[in-house]
Amino acid sequence: MRRLLGLGALTGASTALLIALPLCLPVLLRVFTADVAVGGMLVRLLPFAASCAFAYSVASAAEGCLVAARDLRPLAMLYAAWPPLAASVLFALARGPLSLPGALVAWTAFTSVHLARLATFTRRLQQRTAAWCND
């Protein structure tokens, strides 16, 4: 379990660093676009994309550990909750007081959902590990 989580964290961290690299080396933005406005939007999106990639990788590893442990009922309930949660976050960001532009709404929502997955799955793993140690 620790190895899988470690590999998820390593994969997520390396992916996040690669995504964020153009923030440190702005010349890399020209690889994607010569348009200054598009480059500016990329600069705004990259931190969200990097955070999302990290959270997704570690949450997916934690989810795999829960599946391997056959902790399926809480996972099923969470799977049922994610679509309405994601839709609510998207709607709140698009229509709420922030009213963010489309791409920023999407990446903020994706990041929020995957951070919630990360927190939920790692917390569940902590509970499972504590229960295993007490048996």
pTM of the shown model: 0.82
* pLDDT beneath 50, residues of the chain: none
Which amino acid does the sequence have at 62?
Answer: A
**Residue 74 contacts residue 124 (beta carbons within 8 Å):** yes
| Token pair for 12 | 């997520």
Q: 68-100: per-residue pLDDT in tens?
A: 989 888 888 888 988 888 888 788 777 766 666
Q: What is the pLDDT of residue 19?
A: 94
**Domain that residue 25 falls in:** 2-134
Domain count, the chain: 1
